Amino acid sequence: MTKQEKVDFVINTLNRLYPEIPIPLDHKDPYTLLVAVLLSAQCTDVRVNQITPLLFAKADNPYDMIKMSQEEIKEIIKPCGLSPMKSKGIYGLSHILIDKYDGKVPQSFEALEALPAVGHKTASVVMSQAFGVPAFPVDTHIHRLMYRWNLSNGKNVQQTEKDAKRLFPKELWNDLHLQIIWYGREYSPARGWDLEKDIITKTIGRASVLKAYYK
């Protein structure tokens, strides 16, 4: 298979498996998405979706969030892990949104990445899912699968993002990154991986990955 044939196979298979693409993190607007994505660092989406209703019942906008103390926020979000850093980030970015953006989430990568505790991946998710701007946020699933599929060298997530953006059409990025995440969870996990069910890797996978699996 040529590289383009592999790319087409990935796109066609994912469109067949996921014609409707659910958003992993529950939210109602850009602010609640931003907070949910921040909480998802080193935490499962399932756990985040259990905790955000408790947090958002008290504060689902920056004005209510800063009425709480960092300690109060920390106690609510503790099950998500890294709660001291995350509570400081949520409290700090809420203040900045009020002071600089009239309480609204800015619609640029630069402005988002300047917020406390917001990195490139978080900004990319918000730009993609809240504002429909083409982005390709790379999580552990995408990083793993791009390597398994021999579409990236697995060196780091920055390189994986560059490769994904180079290989896949820009108009598909927002759907495709979600489809790959769902595929990784269901068919190509890091643990408990069954290659026979993983049709994409079995068809186009990196030779070294396939050899290691069958050893």
Q: Which residues are catalytic?
A: 121, 139
| CA atoms in the 13 A half-sphere facing the CB of 123 | 16
How far is it, in rounded angstroms, from Cα 88 to Cα 94?
A: 10
Give one DSSP letter per residue of 194-207, joined into a string.
Answer: -TTT-HHHHHH--H
The two tokens of residue 49 are 């979706």
How far is it, in rounded angstroms, from Cα 58 to Cα 107?
A: 25
How far is it, in rounded angstroms, from Cα 143 to Cα 157?
A: 6
Between helix 157-167 and helix 173-187 the angle, nearest 10°, is: 120
Residue whose structure tokens are 């820009």? 170
